[in-house]
Structure 1
């Protein structure tokens, strides 16, 4: 019996090839996008869910409340890690981690140098109790108990000591250079995690090494008021201890150690291990965005709903053509359940075909958007969770898409169906009403996507054309070794400046434009009073202004006198000073001492154009120069120039590597996220329009074929082709017009929210709303007009010969 259902269903699908193709293509696109999004969500939520007792593991976060300004940091002050185990009741283990970046590693005994490496950290013994590891060598009970010990992972083992037995590695010494030189003895080797994890560190130096080397102050671990994101504290709570009880204990600790705070308040919070991947990362990177995941889920759901609506729309329209089939089946004894099962079998075959094609499409989409996805992301098609998804999703999609058309077909009355009656005598037809509304809904969604893409594209084009206030072309910059000393940095700058293809080189604490920001409070004398406010600070040398093309409005450039500073126009406005000349020669207090203002700069955007220009001060502190900016000459060979810069760098820093970045490319990265949103919405709008267009193609093809006799009679009575085209297209023009009205407000609201994220933005482009609506109207008229033209050109004698 079941075999017979599917055999008949297969024959029906082959008999209606156009309908089958439209259904399979539309559903496959929806399935492909949903399958990809499912894997993205699964990947994001798979991080660190394999740890024992994971639901009892937390990270400490620190929160500052200054009234209108509230800040939250995934970090803990150094002293908290020392007292937490004693003063917070209900916890089993406490583990401390201090992350390091770009630490130089070497093996002195073998004269091996590995350059600067990430994934190196300080850790205490409790860290491996909170987050256990598999030990390949060493004693986990005694490891990291003493200063100058280190535990390495398999990856580091293969890097440092390839092909050496584990027993020969234990006891060897590694040298790390960060704030100081650390000689550490290897006391353990651990296995790397095979699962997805944010704990990707490979070298763990004993935490007590910091205290032994008297570097608590350097690493910011000496004070309760120093909050450093590198300082992380994890703990495992006891069984049955609730998060609310732990929070009460943390509140008591904060109240004890921050009782004397005069401004604002500091408190501690809990971050469950399950939230770590979505929070600020362990290596200063932003975690996965839950908002983006929600957005992807919404987009996927919309695309799939459009595909399902397409199916329902076309199937209910074509149900009329199967009325006699239903009548015969019921006359021969078929009941409603059997008929519904027959039609659902057809739907299931369509979904099955769409699923297979959808898997192909998902792979193509993955390759297209690979750069948008996390590193290491894959779609294991044969993984258990994907197989379950495919099966259950296919069944659910069959029911959602097929149940209403099946009910419509199964409810036809056999006596009326066999007489050829296609609808009741009532003037209102629910089927027609539903089809029109589904068509309107499809085009509404397509219109929202399309107009948003146009608005975002216009804003990004506007941003790229705006002057930033400095020269960004042909400027490269690179980070110098951390705390390597001003003497070497100055030598490198001098060598670079003498190169024939270089117009200038400068040292500073940062590039002229970056995501980083240094702010400080400043005191400015105004009349007989003193005004205090926050200002952005850049640590630069005297060549910085010339290399970056910063324009001076008054005064002069900096000399090598460290008591001199430059300020910008916005600084004057904040201080209430009307004239640039007025501030020249006056002393402001910043950085712990008085500084003389020798020049005023024209305002420029040192950060994204989403932000307003801040008051800014250029000052000089050579001890903290760690970036070199180089202005290259015009018409040079860039590859040769960069090679020359690297060779000079190697001569000064023989054990280091350097990576020069083009300033204009880095500035473009400010808007990468918005560019990605535009591209994703653009792809979504293309899919939505394609699905809607296919649905309209199939629906108009069927409905116009139902009106062939009417069209033929009108032609005989003298109607022109233009009149017939206008008659048929009028209804669809009205539907698209209604779609535009429905799409207008949500599109306006979403566009307004996006544009308001920029301080410098275009006005609301209302013309683009009309352009988007007209584009879909032209598409609609084109699809319907093509069918109408064929119908209008048909021979009435052929159509009416049986009448």
Structure 2
């Protein structure tokens, strides 16, 4: 019987090629989207699961409160590690201090590369369960050792055995390779970490790090922990929350609260607001999961609509089957088997579409996903999902068609009834509600991105490049290096600072001024600069002046940004005195706010001061109108002259600034991609329904033409029902989209408003798309020769 069902199903597919193609194409696109989104969600949910101890690992975070606002950070003081080991050792299996992941220059013979890596205590490789290709996990116990990734080993040494090879770090010290570990997967938080160096080496290379071992107020490091097998994160948090605060001196009342942030939450639950975890990327997992479900649902709706719309075509078949003894269950089985066959074919086509689009989708989503061919869970999920799709798609047609009464059908008195088309109309409304909602959401996402991009940034980023001062050769030669760069004719200016223009790397307390609230614990972003920094980046002064070599007193001068003046509440700030770490400084100038961090957040109150010894970033301003390739060649020659042992690695400031929009742009692009597919699937359904309606009303159209109806009249006749449905869809979609996108915008401090024209544009766009889709069949039917349609009459 099943064989007979399948044979009939294929005959029906071949008999109705146009409708079969629309069904299969719609379902396959819906399935392809569902598979792509499923792979994306799987990749997100499996983040960091490469590490065996995934569910026991955590990073120590702190909540700190300044002027009533609580901020959350992974930055901790070094002594905290010793305190946790000593007093809470039973709760932890391992702890490892670490630096941040920074770029360093690695050199072997004539090969020199800039790679990201960190200094860490020897326990970290075991905690992360790194898979060693060569060497052991204990390789960092030697203070002059280094563990490197397999890809870095191949880059530096080729096919040569890397073990015991000597690498030079930042032209400062040499390290011996004691191990090579497998590269961490792309969906790992530490994926970009190409090497690990012992913490002991860090202490010998940086005096400030050595001094920090007793400083409870220097939050400049990371601390990774692996909790004991029977320990509980919540209980440990309650024990350690006041550890840092108990060691703070009087007056440092930032109320630090230490807690563990589990590795299982690093990726999906990384956002905090006022000390409370508010989620993060998990919202996108839910969002795209919902979108994938709806896109697949749209494809199923197409199948239902076209199947029920053609019910009269198969009414006699149902009548004859029932007349010769078929029971309803057999008919239901027949129609469900047909939908399962279509779903199976659509699945195969969908997998082919995924194979074709996956490389592009990976680039779009910034992923390295692949189809999980060898994963049984993937195939079980796909087959279950295909069967479910087939059953859902075919359920309504099966139960609807099998309910026809054979007597009425065979006598020719069967009429579908006025309400027979109601379910189809409801489903069309659902389709376009989803599509219009996605259109509105996509427009609002891109408006928010553009709104932030149009924000005044307070400096001129065009022609700016930054070079990290990783090697000792670049320190202490500021005037000579700047002079040589300007002499090339390609450089307008050069300066140094302790942070790039696209970040604020240091935040300080300890500021005091006249009129300051004694209960206010002020936190300012603090950036050390050289004399030419303002001219290099194009500071825009509101009051006062820039740092100048003509004033020796500028060594104790401050330049405030607008946000710092507002935060401090200082009236007529220029010339006022501010104490910082028991030293008096004078405010010499006020600049317009510079967007140095997230363009979606408020500007951080920031203070700039002169300090050549603190600077570690070189900023170069290229001359306008000069070919960038030629200019960079001249700049590179100067850096090679002063720093011959290092590669010339630089970054364009404008490109670094654009990186700040990547997450939002990626979400917007993905949303627009899915919205386009949703519209495409909806239009496929409309095309099929319009075609069926035109076919069903062929004789009516012929009679109307004979009686004088114009093409426009007939086009209006066939289009008005669909227009009404789209209007209803818009009225439902608009409030849903408004509420959803309002909630999304709430997470941004600097955000655009939701304009009324977005909804009008989306509604008109949906209407135009609908008319274009329906008009082809409507006009085709209206132009048909009425003689042919009325011949049988």
Q: TM range, normalised to the smaller chain?
A: 0.7 to 0.9
Specify the alignment match of 1:395 in structure 2.
Answer: 387
CA contact (8 A) 1:90 1:246 kept: no
Q: 2-side partners of 1:139 and 1:795: how far apart?
A: 83
CA contact (8 A) 1:87 1:253 kept: no
- Write the distance in 2 (CA, Å) between the matches of 1:376 and 1:19: 37
Distance 1:439 1:420 in 2: 29
- Taking the aligned partners of 1:532 and 1:93, their CA distance within structure 2 comes to 36
Counterpart contact for 1:519–1:535, Cα < 8 Å = yes
Quick check: 1:118 aligned with 2:116? yes
Checking the alignment, whether the CA contact within 8 Å between 1:523 and 1:531 is kept in structure 2 is no
For the residues of structure 1 that align with 2:52 and 2:517, how far apart are their CA atoms? 65
- Partner in structure 1 of residue 275 of structure 2: none
1:504 aligns with 2:504: no
Match in the other structure for 1:445: 434
Matched-pair contact (CA < 8 Å) for 2:303–2:393: yes
Inter-partner Cα distance in structure 2 for 1:52 and 1:512: 39
Shift of 1:622: 0.7
Q: Distance in 2 between matches of 1:520 and 1:211?
A: 25
Q: Identify which of 679, 687, 690 aligns with 1:697.
A: 687
SS in 1 for 2:645: coil
1:588-618 CA distances to partner (integer Å, 9 max, x unpaired)? 2246522222333344544444233454433
Post-superposition Cα deviations, 1:634-675, rounded to whole Å, max 9, x if no partner, equal 321110111111111111112222333333333333323332
Contact 2:119–2:202 (CA under 8 A) maintained in structure 1: no
Q: Aligned pair in 2 of structure 1 residues 627, 393: CA closer, same or farther (>3 Å)? A: same
Residues 469, 305 of structure 1: alpha-carbon distance in 2 compared, 3 angstrom cutoff: same
- Give the Cα separation in 2 of the matches to 1:243 and 1:462: 41
Answer whether contact 1:547 1:630 (CA < 8 A) is retained: yes
Q: Contact 2:24–2:343 (CA<8 Å) still a contact in 1?
A: yes
**What is the aligned partner in structure 2 of residue 300 from structure 1?**
292
- Partner SS state of residue 601, structure 2: coil
1:557 aligns with 2:546: yes
Deviations 1:30-79 (A, max 9, x none): 11111112222222333443555654444444344569533333455433
| Contact 2:564-2:605 at 8 Å conserved across structures | yes
Query: Structure 1, residues 261-281: CA drift from partner, whole Å, max 9, x if none?
Result: 973543443344433444669
Residue 93 (structure 1) aligns with = 93
Counterpart CA distance in 1 for 2:519 and 2:245 is: 34
Q: C-alpha deviations, 1:161-202, integer Å up to 9, x for none?
A: 555558xx45x6555459xx5555555555666896545555
Equivalent in the alignment of 1:331: 323
Matches of 1:349 and 1:162, distance apart in 2: 52
Deviations 1:231-256 (A, max 9, x none): 22222423x54444444544586787
Of residues 234, 247, 250, the one that matches 2:225 is 234
Question: 1:633-648 maps to which residues of 2 (within 5 A)?
Answer: 633-648=623-638
Q: Distance in 1 between matches of 2:244 and 2:638?
A: 51
Is the alpha carbon distance of 1:279 and 1:611 closer, same or farther for their aligned partners in structure 2, counting shifts above 3 Å?
A: closer
Q: 1:524 to 1:92 in 2, by over 3 A?
A: closer
- Where do 1:271-286 residues align within 5 Å? 271-278=261-268
Partner of 1:785: 775
* C-alpha contact (below 8 Å) 1:220/1:227 kept by paired residues: no
Map of 2:340 onto structure 1: 348
Contact 2:498–2:529 under 8 Å retained in 1: yes
Q: Distance in 2 between matches of 1:598 and 1:476?
A: 27
SS at match of 1:584: coil
Structure 1 residue aligned with 2:644? 654
Which residue is equivalent to 1:27? 27
Equivalent residue number for residue 284 of structure 1: none
User: Shift of the alpha carbon at 1:550?
Assistant: 2.2
Does the residue aligned with 2:326 lie in a helix, a strand or coil? Answer: coil
- Within 2, Cα distance between the matches of 1:628 and 1:452? 41
1:414 aligns with 2:412: no
Secondary structure of the equivalent of 1:500? coil
Moved more, 534-543 or 617-626: 534-543
Aligned to 2:465: 476
Deviations 1:189-226 (A, max 9, x none): 55666896545555444445556789584484434444
In the TM superposition, residue 695 of structure 1 has moved relative to its aligned partner by 0.7
Q: 1:379 aligns with which of 371, 378, 381?
A: 371
1:471 Cα offset (Å): 2.2
Cα gap change, 1:661 to 1:338, in 2 (>3 Å): same
| 2:508–2:524 Cα contact (<8 Å) kept | yes
Measured in 1, the distance between the counterparts of 2:577 and 2:461 equals 31
Compared with structure 1, are the counterparts of its residues 524 and 289 closer, same or farther at alpha carbon in structure 2 (3 Å cutoff)? same
Pair 1:728 & 2:721 matched: no
SS in 2 for 1:539: strand
* Residues in 1 aligned to 2:450 and 2:415: alpha-carbon distance in whole angstroms: 54
The 5 Å alignment of 1:710-721 reads 710-721=700-711
> Secondary structure of 1:558's partner?
coil
Verify the 8 A CA contact 1:507 1:626 in the aligned structure 2: yes
Q: In angstroms, what is the RMSD of aligned CA positions?
A: 3.7
Runs of 4+ residues over 6 Å off in structure 1:
193-196, 211-214, 258-262, 527-532
Cα offsets for 1:333-364 (capped at 9, x unmatched) = 22222222222222122222222222232234
Pick closer, same or farther for the CA change 1:278–1:447 going to 2, 3 Å.
Answer: closer
Distance 2:59 2:574 in 1: 50
Q: Report the Cα distance in structure 2 between the residues aligned to 1:386 and 1:233, rounded to whole angstroms.
A: 33
Residue 76 of structure 2 is aligned to residue 82 of structure 1: no
SS at match of 2:657: helix
Q: Distance in 2 between matches of 1:712 and 1:163?
A: 79
Take 1:638 and 1:691, find their aligned partners in 2: how far apart are those partners?
46
Alignment of 1:764-803 (within 5 A): 764-803=754-793
Mapped contact 1:89–1:246 kept (Cα < 8 A) = no
User: Please, which runs of 5 or more residues in structure 1 have no aligned partner?
Assistant: 282-286
Distance 1:324 1:487, change over 3 A: same
Q: Distance in 2 between matches of 1:716 and 1:114?
A: 84
Deviates more, 1:748-757 or 1:669-678: 748-757
Bigger mean CA offset, 770-779 vs 510-519? 510-519
Deviation at 1:321, TM superposition (A): 1.6
Q: How many residues align?
A: 780
> Partners in 2 of 1:66 and 1:550 — Cα distance?
28
TM-score by length of 2: 0.87
Matches for 1:92-491 after TM superposition, within 5 Å: 93-99=93-99, 101-106=102-107, 114-124=112-122, 126-133=123-130, 144-145=140-141, 147-151=143-147, 154-155=150-151, 157-158=153-154, 163-164=159-160, 169-170=163-164, 176=169, 197-198=188-189, 201=193, 203-209=195-201, 217-218=209-210, 220-228=212-220, 230-238=221-229, 240-251=230-241, 263-278=253-268, 289-374=281-366, 376-381=368-373, 383-423=375-415, 429=419, 431-481=420-470, 486-491=475-480
CA offsets per residue over residues 738-786 of structure 1, 9 Å max, x none? 1111122122234444555666655533123212212222222333333
Cα distance between partner residues in 2 of 1:280 and 1:762: 24
TM-score, normalising length: structure 1: 0.86
SS at match of 1:411: coil
**Contact 1:483 1:624 (8 Å CA) reproduced:** no
Structure 1 residues 531 and 134, CA, compared in 2 at 3 Å: closer, same or farther?
A: closer
Change (3 A) 1:244 1:280: closer
Do 1:491 and 1:652's aligned partners in 2 also have CA atoms closer than 8 Å?
no
For residue 671 of structure 1, the aligned residue among 631, 645, 661 is 661
1:227 and 1:339 map into 2 onto residues whose CA distance is 72
CA-CA distance at 1:23 after TM superposition: 1.0
Inter-partner Cα distance in structure 2 for 1:531 and 1:137:
54
Q: Distance in 2 between matches of 1:686 and 1:64?
A: 44
